[in-house]
Copies of this chain bind each other. A is one copy, B any other.
Amino acid sequence: MKAYIGLDIGGTKILGSLYNESGESIKRVKKKTKADQGLETVISQISKVIDGLMENKEIELLGIGAGSPGLVKDEGIVTFSPNIPFRDFNLKALIEDKYHVPFVLGNDVNVAMYGEWKAADMKNAKNVLGLFVGTGVGGAIIIDGKLYVGRGGAAEFGHMVVSPEGAYCGCGSQGCLEAYASKSGIQNAIHGQLRKGRASVLEEYMKTDGSVIKSSSLKKAFDVNDTLAREVIERAIYYLGLATGTLINQFHPDLIIMGGGIMESLGEDMLAGIVAEAERHAMPGIMEGVAFELSHLSDDAGIYGAFELIKDHLQSK
């Protein structure tokens, strides 16, 4: 059986799936990344995932696609990764040398949102933006049906400046969308208010979640009209809407897909507000015909996007 592998190389785990030519997931393997044990261990963990998927000897592997955090260039070299010890590392050369099949690599969020586009309802859309709102904020740009990465690092929508002298961001800049609309940004705001003694059901939920607040807990708090939860979500809506208006003025896309953990938990509640705020900033008439969708692949977006990426790569040859 002809098959492809899609890999999602994350900071804590590596998820792999074997896909048949119709895009059905045939088998899955998950391993810890063990990023703290160094590069060689990470490579060995990646190999274990691939080997695990290839146990059935009747598989004819056509290619491997993957997503990794960080700045990826030339579809195979990780220039820098925030939480995996890749530094100007040619993962493509290594995998192709070992497995003798074509390999393509992209930034994890680019690849995941590419997967969401391939699974979207509006498949005929050719110019598409994916806005990912999870622990961080990122995205993907699809131009004329192809993932656009520029010199490798495109679609860092979390680092659009939305407030000129605004909050400091983990990237070193100031006023980034991510500082307000990501789960990390939202969490910082919540922790700050709770430390001040503000009452919120979130304090209760965090007893089970730990200091990292789950998106599902945020959703529960939002649904019971917790004022703190409402306040931080309203602020995220405001800044996401403002950024979405800017994105529409820049790209005039056919479709915007909203994904990531925050969107998958709270997207139904947030989308109308985001669109209304975007309308306020979009050029007259420009939003007509621009469609919005919420993502739905959840944790499978990365592996599915990686599969689509290698499949498309081979078909375009």
A interface, CB within 8 angstroms of B: 71, 79-80, 127, 141, 143-144, 148-157, 159-164, 171-176, 238-239, 242-243, 245-246, 249-254, 280-286, 289-290
Q: Is the CB of B153 within 8 A of A283?
A: yes
Query: In the complex, which of the residues B144, B151, B174, B245 contacts A289, with contact meaning CB atoms closer than 8 Å?
Result: B151
Query: In the complex, which of the residues B239, B246, B285 contacts A71, with contact meaning CB atoms closer than 8 Å?
Result: B285
Q: Is the CB of A252 within 8 A of B161?
A: no
- Residue in B closest to A149 when the chains form the complex, CB atoms: B252
Q: Is the CB of B161 within 8 A of A251?
A: no
CA distance A172 to B252 in the complex (A): 18
CA distance A20 to B80 in the complex (A): 48
CA distance A161 to B282 in the complex (A): 10
Q: Is the CB of A252 within 8 A of B284?
A: no
Q: Is the CB of A174 within 8 A of B143?
A: no
Q: Is the CB of A254 within 8 A of B151?
A: yes
Q: What chain B residues lie within 8 Å of A249 (beta carbons)?
A: 153, 156-157, 159-160
Q: Is the CB of A286 within 8 A of B153?
A: yes
CA distance A149 to B253 in the complex (A): 9
**Which of A127, A164, A250 neighbours the largest number of chain B CB atoms within 10 Å of its CB?**
A250
If A245-B161, A250-B157 touch, does A151 touch B290 (CB 8 Å cutoff)? yes
- Residue in B closest to A243 when the chains form the complex, CB atoms: B161
CA distance A251 to B243 in the complex (A): 15
CA distance A105 to B282 in the complex (A): 23
Query: In the complex, which of the residues B141, B144, B160, B253 contacts A246, with contact meaning CB atoms closer than 8 Å?
Result: B160
Q: Is the CB of A162 within 8 A of B159?
A: no
Query: What are 11 A-B pairs with beta-carbon distances under 8 A?
Result: A127-B150, A149-B252, A151-B289, A153-B249, A153-B283, A154-B251, A154-B252, A160-B249, A173-B245, A174-B280, A175-B281
CA distance A173 to B281 in the complex (A): 5
If A280-B173, A281-B173 touch, does A155 touch B246 (CB 8 Å cutoff)? no
- Residue in B closest to A176 when the chains form the complex, CB atoms: B281
The minimal Cβ–Cβ distance linking A138 to chain B, given in whole angstroms, is 10
Q: Is the CB of B151 within 8 A of A284?
A: no
